[in-house]
Structure 1
Amino acid sequence: MAYEVMARIDAMADDLFAEGVEAERLGKLADETAKKMREAGVIRMLQPKEHGGLEVHPREFAETVMRMASLNPSAGWVHGIVGVHPWQLAFADPRCQEEIWASDPDTWMASPYMPGGVCIPVEGGYRFSGRWQFSSGTDHCDWAFLGAMVGGSDGKPLIPPQALHVIIPRSDYEIVEDSWDVVGLRGTGSKDLVVKDVFVPDYRVMDGGKVIDGTAVREYGRTETLYLLPWSTMFPLGITSATVGICEGLLRHADDYQRGRINAQGTAVKDDPYTMFAVGEAAADLRAARDSLLANVDRMWDLVDAGKTPTFEQRAEGRQTQVQAAWRAVTAIDRIYARCGGNALRMDKPLQRFWRDAHAGLHHAIHVPGTVFHGASLSRLGVEPPPHLQVMI
């Protein structure tokens, strides 16, 4: 099944690349791109089979995200983020699954999970308000997962905080149209969302802590290996895969550009041993970044498939590997792009767009290395990290 999705992406490669230029101009995915992604089934890859999904191995999902991002960075980014949401919805309340997928298994869900809202308990559910940034692909989504905190009657979050993931339809939130004017990943349309005092029934609210520590999926009763994988393995996977894929796209365009280029000294670049060594070394680093990310997913899959529950230390090691893969990939293409000469800076060449988009990918919160590396190091020493070092692990 996954190979069919990849084949469809390959068949649309030229169109997807051209539409990436259009997405940059529009500040969101072109409608044609979203249509192609639906036809290819990319957002249904991690979706349960009983709701029209493919339930593929997460490695296969990551590989298709990389391929998409290498052609159209913004489409790859949306593929990686929106494509993970069906994985979580698979262990949400069945009433919620029916509400979203019954009439259209290709329904897309936006996010983000950042706790930008407050949920005040009322009979049967919550009153919900807030504002969120970075809702990637939101113009083509009909539902959203939004992060929130439980609040008191005064509207302020309770202490200690209680995190929620709230599932709401497009009719309950506003997209702020002029909120995405950025230097990279412009075509993702990652706009702000606003919710103003809407009612959300209990069955459309998930306990954020239980989602992240794996309790939610076990309470639901899922037994498939795919859905028993840690949230901290699955949620970052699409984002890092997209970042690596964008870097692979830059390498391909750099190779095409350098193939016939003559440098400022009048030497064919292919005959310049200094450039060839530097680019070769960087390309090997980029390949290693890809391989380490995929091997990390395979390792976690094998662990869970054997009936084991990953420890915090194992989850932290996985996150450490994933973050390092992103930084290694972007650092590699910095060395490649810097050796493409002054004309590579021109806006009519794709190199600069891929370079900007790759760097924008590093700005996502899941790619911040400090707390992840610190928490992983403490875990390896047998020390339980404090709560702020356990976030997103």
Structure 2
Amino acid sequence: MPADMQLDPGLAGAAERVRILASRHAGEADRTRKLSPEVVAAIREAGFARHFVAARWGGSEGSFAELTRAVMAVGEGCPATAWCASLSAYSARFASHLPAEGHHALWGAGPDVVVATALIPSGKAVRTGGGWRLSGTWHYVSGVDFADWTLVCAAVPGPEGPPELRFFALPSGTYGVQETWDSVGMRATGSHTLVADGVLVPEHLSFARADMLTGRNRDSDVPSHNVPFQAVGGLTFVAPVAGAAAGAMNAAVAVLTGKRRTHSVELQVTRAAAMVDAARHLVEQNARTIDERGLTAELMARNERNAVFAAELLVESVGLAVAASGSGGLGEGLPLQRFWRDVTSAASHVALKYDTAARKNYAAVLLGPEA
């Protein structure tokens, strides 16, 4: 970890312990496509799940900057672990939009509840006595195989006009999981498919997707619970990638140290290291911008731009690290090839693509309205 990346108190020592443990298990997790129970327990015990939970429920009410640095630190050891740690924190932030009774349902017995989220709308729900009847299939739900609760987004009939999109909180055991995740990278994230068949969801375990998008929280005044999704969406996914790229650099350095090297190799390593540092600075800037609580349309659009550009830099940096290491760095038993696959896979997420996450909003800020 670079000297200027010391963690704040809170997640500091815990994140480092998770990094060390996850690094030891990373090869096995990649082979089995599953995080070990020890690593899952470490994510929970470190405080990732409680990071954004309100203090009244025993949570940390932590900052975005602290979480971002902790996720990047874990990512240096195992990107899949960092991905799941990040999503467990942000999913709890989403769940803060539930009514007050829903907060009690999730965190009344304690704050260390692992929540997974299916962000992409699917399925449907219909009104029933005191709640909703929910059915559907949701793909790419990271961490669903060990989550205590999962948030899914579904359409409900509108009173007039088009359907409304709402999130529904489902406790583990009320839905099925199909093991469909077969990506070449980030194998251990367990981003499988959730299936619900007529699950009854009480009213207090649902909230409007519009509230999450706008950051309008009717039942919590905690600052981190009142941030628009536009400002923070990319940060959720790019922080693990930034950590993974730093891990790839460490792995490449381990391959090259002590060996004869060419001028070209030195240029590749130098450029790759600069790209990783530049991307990490952009990622950290996003987190600081949110914590400073002065979000404007311009700053939110910049956050989107920063996230996608950082992802692009990180993919290129790992490509250079691989090229510099040559065939000797791509042995199946070496970590570099795993970091390479993980960064490539993670950076393909829709939240890290220009056309879907940054182009329109930032171009409007930079260039104004179209003629």
Flag whether TM exceeds 0.5 (same fold).
yes
Alignment match, 1:165: 167
CA shift, 1:320, in A, is 1.2
Alignment match, 1:143: 149
Alignment match, 2:268: 278
Tell me which of 118, 122, 139 is aligned to 1:116. 122
Structure 1 window deviating more from structure 2 (231-240 vs 362-371): it is: 231-240
Q: What are the Cα deviations for residues 339-364 of structure 1, in whole angstroms up to 9, with x where unaligned?
A: 11112222111100010000111121
Alignment of 1:1-393 (within 5 A): 2-151=8-157, 160-177=162-179, 179-215=180-216, 217=217, 219-222=218-221, 224-261=222-259, 268-269=260-261, 272-302=262-292, 304=293, 308=294, 310-371=295-356, 372-383=358-369
**In 2, Cα distance between the equivalents of 1:336 and 1:247?**
9
What amino acid does structure 1 have at the position aligned with 2:88?
V
| 3-state SS, counterpart of residue 148 of structure 1 | strand
| 3-state SS, counterpart of residue 338 of structure 1 | helix
Inter-CA distance 11–296: structure 2 relative to 1 (3 Å threshold): closer
| 3-state SS, counterpart of residue 45 of structure 2 | helix
Give the number of equivalent residue pairs.
363
RMSD of the TM alignment (CA)?
Answer: 2.0
CA shift, 1:284, in A, is 0.7
CA shift, 1:176, in A, is 0.8
Structure 2: gaps spanning 5 or more residues: 1-6
What amino acid does structure 2 have at the position aligned with 1:41?
G
What amino acid does structure 2 have at the position aligned with 1:227?
H
Alignment match, 2:3: none
What amino acid does structure 2 have at the position aligned with 1:212?
L
**In 2, Cα distance between the equivalents of 1:249 and 1:151?**
47
Residues 229 and 301 of structure 1 are in contact (CA less than 8 Å); yes or no, is this contact kept in structure 2? no
Q: What percentage of aligned pairs have identical amino acids?
A: 26
Structure 2 length-normalised TM: 0.92
**In 1, Cα distance between the equivalents of 2:10 and 2:255?**
31
Residues 79 and 238 of structure 1 are in contact (CA less than 8 Å); yes or no, is this contact kept in structure 2? no
Q: What are the Cα deviations for residues 220-254 of structure 1, in whole angstroms up to 9, with x where unaligned?
A: 351x3322322223333221100111111100111
| 3-state SS, counterpart of residue 118 of structure 2 | coil
**In 2, Cα distance between the equivalents of 1:285 and 1:70?**
16
What amino acid does structure 2 have at the position aligned with 1:220?
D
What amino acid does structure 2 have at the position aligned with 1:200?
V
**In 2, Cα distance between the equivalents of 1:345 and 1:208?**
43
**In 2, Cα distance between the equivalents of 1:75 and 1:54?**
20
